[in-house]
Structure 1
């Protein structure tokens, strides 16, 4: 990681205190922004997909598919906000998102709710118990393209999960246990085993899974019977795969992935995460505030639309010795290169020079 004035494991208490004080007025989600941004993006994405299906022009089809991927990617990433929202402040949003976005693209929010909370735990972050962490910087170089390109399989896996295995699992208990443990989470750690849901969350899980299964079965059945044209089925799969590929690429640079499994202080969790402040093209490949991923780990309850202002305040107020400046990077490319070099120079005897950090972003 970049050099810093603190000993590893120590907390930058001034940064933590200032972060809390400077953002006290930013914690309320703006309902208008959430509803318009999320469902406006979804509407654009669906309209572009329908236009691509109807189009007879190859260039126009490609352009509309790319627009659909970009817009639906933004709408899908509100699943991250759903995991952090106080839903009393935004009533109905989770249900509407699951009906209008989650079920349609086979990504209901139960796949992420509960999982992401473990990732934010001070005890579990970066350890083998973290479902969203792998020490990618310590792995072989070929793992990075494999990790990224695996996202292309997402449409087939989701159709299998919700269209075939999900319905069967309700009458085959051993399959149900396997499905809950191994195939009901948006995770990057293959060793993670998900516990069975309980209480109100279990009831939401059943409703969301049923909705996604209805959509998946309808897609598979109409495609098999020739009711849905093969072109429409293929373009739907291309869009879902594109959304997954974009998200997998973003995931590659959300952290430095340098932790070797030990517990980290909150400050070092922040250092192992990244901010890419430039709005363009950051807002395209990391929308809904996710270009401020390190700041999000520092202040996980802050709504996405408040993160740019929070970053501005902290950057302007905190002095250079603060750990806050160490997690800011220029671009996606800088972080991809850094991670690639880390896999080439694996091991503590061959550290990666910390270029790309401490930029005036």
Structure 2
């Protein structure tokens, strides 16, 4: 869903030592090597997709059940952390749904919605048709990109606000599906606003989504109804005591934890240094981040291939399980002065520090 509007530094932005990304030309050797070295990696592996999804859901919901029922506070917290990490991994597969050819992994979108999208109130239509705009060469980093804000050029306070506001995501999603969805069915004007402003997993507060058409509209309507019924049922069961307030609060806390981790990952997915100009593919790559091995923690906070986010922008059609091998091949072939190596970073703390320092320089 859309977040709040953040204030730019305006004239002070010129003080920040940010590279002119829009002036970077494409490195044809890098683009050619990336394409040629990975042609045999483009086929998704359905068994792995399903195993990853089902495994994440089973572990996540089992841990959530333990957190709700166990008497020990320590064990409840530990189970809650496991639930957050497992469900976050499952949720992250929405990224794959927006890229894969669905015939290559039959039924996966429906399975993901049933196991993750509906229970967590993030049906796949909230990302499909939105994320692809982020990858459009003429849209990336511009005002028309739903997933971009020039965070490096904004006020320092925007970073903690950007992260903390995500903790309210479960409340916002409950309002979206338990209240706005049914009410908007009665009011065309409200429906227009709900579709345009509250039906996308975006961070650009100025982004307005177009109404779905044809098959997309039918699929959207089907999953929105199911998600709305689930949200209403959850509130009704809690109000009547069938679901305890403790269980409801833990469910919301786990949802907040998932949203917080995802927002931190989003914070370091790019350098956020573009001021709205169209960029070459190489410039987009250099504004994006890889966190390859030997770093270990990205397995948790950037799962399902998200640790290779810059590489993904070079090759958005590669399935997540192929990115590590693609990175190994490309890194081995390209010289050290290639732009490819300049998008690789050591880990989360350094990336957060780099972004925070960029905002501080322009105060």
Q: What TM-score do the two structures reach when normalised by structure 2?
A: 0.93
The aligned residue for residue 245 of structure 2 is 230
- Aligned match of 1:36: 51
Instruction: Assess if the C-alpha contact under 8 Å between 2:22 and 2:277 holds in 1.
Output: no
The counterpart of 1:281, out of the listed 297, 300, 321, is: 297
Residue 126, structure 1, aligned to residue 141, structure 2: yes
CA distance in 2, matches of 1:48, 1:318: 44
Name the residue aligned to 1:295: 311
Is 2:132 the partner of 1:114?
Answer: no
The offset of 1:138, in angstroms, is 0.2
The CA RMSD measured in Å over matched residues stands at 1.5
CA distance in 2, matches of 1:181, 1:188: 14
Q: Among residues 236, 242, 263, which one is paired with 1:221 in the alignment?
A: 236
> What is the CA deviation profile of residues 173-201 of structure 1, one whole-angstrom value per residue up to 9, with x for unaligned ones?
11100000000000000001101011111
Q: CA deviation at 1:227?
A: 1.3
User: Contact 1:137/1:346 (CA < 8 Å) preserved in 2?
Assistant: no
- Distance in 1 (CA, whole Å) between partners of 2:94 and 2:223 is 13
Q: Report the CA distance between 1:286 and its aligned residue.
A: 0.3
Gaps of 5+ in 1: 348-361
**How is 1:166-315 mapped onto 2 (pairs within 5 angstroms)?**
166-278=181-293, 279-315=295-331
| 1-structure distance, mates of 2:311, 2:297 | 18
Higher RCO structure, 1 or 2 (CA under 8 Å, sep 6+):
2
Stretch of structure 1 that moved more, 208-217 or 62-71:
208-217
2:50 is the alignment partner of 1:50:
no
Cα deviation code 1:307-341 (max 9, x no counterpart): 01100111111012211011000001110000000
CA contact (8 A) 1:2 1:326 kept: no
The alpha-carbon deviation at position 149 of structure 1 amounts to 0.3
> Which structure 2 segments of 5+ residues have no match?
1-16
Tell me, what secondary structure is at the counterpart of 2:102?
A: coil
Q: Is the 8 A contact 1:69 1:240 kept in 2?
A: yes
Aligned to 1:163: 178
Classify the secondary structure of the residue corresponding to 2:141.
coil
Q: Distance in 1 between matches of 2:216 and 2:317?
A: 20
- Report the Cα offset of residue 346 of structure 1: 2.5
Q: Contact conserved, 1:73 with 1:243, CA < 8 A, in 2?
A: yes
TM-score, length basis structure 1: 0.94
- Measure, in 2, the Cα distance between the counterparts of 1:101 and 1:113: 15
| 2:332 corresponds to 1:333 | no
Superposed CA deviations along residues 197-222 of structure 1, whole A, max 9, x for unmatched, are 11111111001111111110011111
Check the 8 A contact 2:177/2:231 in 1, yes or no: yes
Q: Is the 8 A contact 2:140 2:148 kept in 1?
A: yes
Q: Give per-residue Cα distances to partners, 1:137-158, cap 9 Å, x unaligned.
A: 0000000000000011011100
* 1:42–1:72 CA contact under 8 A, matched in 2: yes
8 Å contact 1:83–1:113 — kept in the other structure? yes
Give yes or no for the alignment of 1:70 onto 2:90. no
SS at match of 2:210: coil
How far did residue 7 of structure 1 move?
9.5
Report the count of equivalent residues. Answer: 346
